[in-house]
Amino acid sequence: MEQLADGGIRVEALAAEYQAQAEHWAVRLGLPLQDASAAFAVQVGETGLQIQQLGPQAPGPVRVDFVEGAAAHRRVFGGGSGQMIAKAVGIAQGVRPRVLDATAGLGKDAFVLASLGCQMQLIERQPLVAALLEDGLARAASDAEVGPIVARMQLLAGNSIERMRDWQGEPPQVIYLDPMFPHRDKSALVKKEMRVFRPLVGDDLDAPALLEAALALASHRVVVKRPRKAPIIDGPKPSHSLEGKSSRYDIYPKKALKP
Phi and psi at residue 9, to the nearest 5°? -130, 135
* Confidence band, pLDDT 50/70/90 cuts, at residue 183: low
pTM summary value: 0.91
Those residues whose C-beta lies under 8 Å from the C-beta of residue 204, and which sit 6 or more positions away, are 103, 179, 180, 181, 210
Is pLDDT of 190 > 80?
Answer: no
- Beta-bridged to residue 48, according to DSSP, are 45
CB atoms within 10 A of CB 93: 6
Is pLDDT of 4 > 60?
Answer: no
Q: How high is the pLDDT of residue 7?
A: 65
Range of the domain at 160: 70-253
Q: How high is the pLDDT of residue 78?
A: 66
Is 35 annotated as belonging to a binding site?
no
Asked whether residue 59 is domain-assigned, the answer is no
Q: Tell me: do 219 and 134 sit in the same domain.
A: yes
Q: CB of 249 within 8 A of CB of 216?
A: no
- How many whole angstroms separate alpha carbon 20 and alpha carbon 28? 12
Q: Tell me: do 156 and 184 sit in the same domain.
A: yes
The CA-CA-CA angle for residues 173, 121, 144, to 5°, reads 120
Asked whether residue 230 is domain-assigned, the answer is yes
Asked whether residue 211 is domain-assigned, the answer is yes
* Confidence band, pLDDT 50/70/90 cuts, at residue 185: low
CATH for 89: 3.40.50.150
Helices (H) and strands (E) in the chain, counts: 9, 10
Q: Tell me: do 140 and 220 sit in the same domain.
A: yes
Asked whether residue 3 is domain-assigned, the answer is no
* pLDDT per residue as tens digits for the range 69-93: 777 767 776 677 889 999 999 999 9
- Calculate mean pLDDT across residues 9-37: 96
**What domain count does the chain have?**
2
Q: Tell me: do 21 and 143 sit in the same domain.
A: no
- Beta-bridged to residue 122, according to DSSP, are 101, 155
Asked whether residue 64 is domain-assigned, the answer is no
CA distances from 35 to 7, 124, 131, 201 (A): 9, 26, 20, 20
Q: How high is the pLDDT of residue 80?
A: 78
Q: Tell me: do 208 and 140 sit in the same domain.
A: yes
Is pLDDT of 186 > 70?
Answer: no
Q: Tell me: do 143 and 247 sit in the same domain.
A: yes
Q: Tell me: do 82 and 49 sit in the same domain.
A: no
Q: How high is the pLDDT of residue 227?
A: 92
Q: How high is the pLDDT of residue 187?
A: 47
Least confident of 49-63, 70-84, 90-104, 182-196: 182-196
Asked whether residue 241 is domain-assigned, the answer is yes
Is 124 annotated as belonging to a binding site?
yes
* pLDDT per residue as tens digits for the range 202-243: 666 789 999 999 999 999 999 999 999 999 999 999 999 999
Asked whether residue 148 is domain-assigned, the answer is yes
Looking at every residue in the chain, the average pLDDT score rounds to 90
* pLDDT per residue as tens digits for the range 238-257: 999 999 998 999 999 999 99
Q: Tell me: do 140 and 32 sit in the same domain.
A: no
Is pLDDT of 5 > 90?
Answer: no
Q: How high is the pLDDT of residue 3?
A: 43
Q: CB of 223 within 8 A of CB of 97?
A: no
Q: Tell me: do 116 and 178 sit in the same domain.
A: yes
Percent of the chain with pLDDT over 70: 89
E-assigned strand segments in the chain: 9-13, 40-45, 48-53, 99-101, 120-123, 153-156, 174-177, 221-227, 240-243, 247-253
Q: Tell me: do 45 and 79 sit in the same domain.
A: no
Is pLDDT of 107 > 90?
Answer: yes
Q: How high is the pLDDT of residue 189?
A: 42
Is 178 annotated as belonging to a binding site?
yes
Q: CB of 255 within 8 A of CB of 220?
A: yes
Q: What residue type is assigned to position 187 of the chain?
A: S
CB atoms within 10 A of CB 195: 16
Q: CB of 121 within 8 A of CB of 156?
A: yes
Q: Tell me: do 153 and 205 sit in the same domain.
A: yes
Q: What residue type is assigned to position 259 of the chain?
A: P
Q: Tell me: do 105 and 138 sit in the same domain.
A: yes
Q: Mapped to the 3 state alphabet, what secondary structure does 31-59 carry? A: CCCCCCCCCEEEEEECCEEEEEECCCCCC
Asked whether residue 2 is domain-assigned, the answer is no
Give the CA count within 13 Å in the CB-facing half-sphere of 117: 11
Q: CB of 42 within 8 A of CB of 131?
A: yes
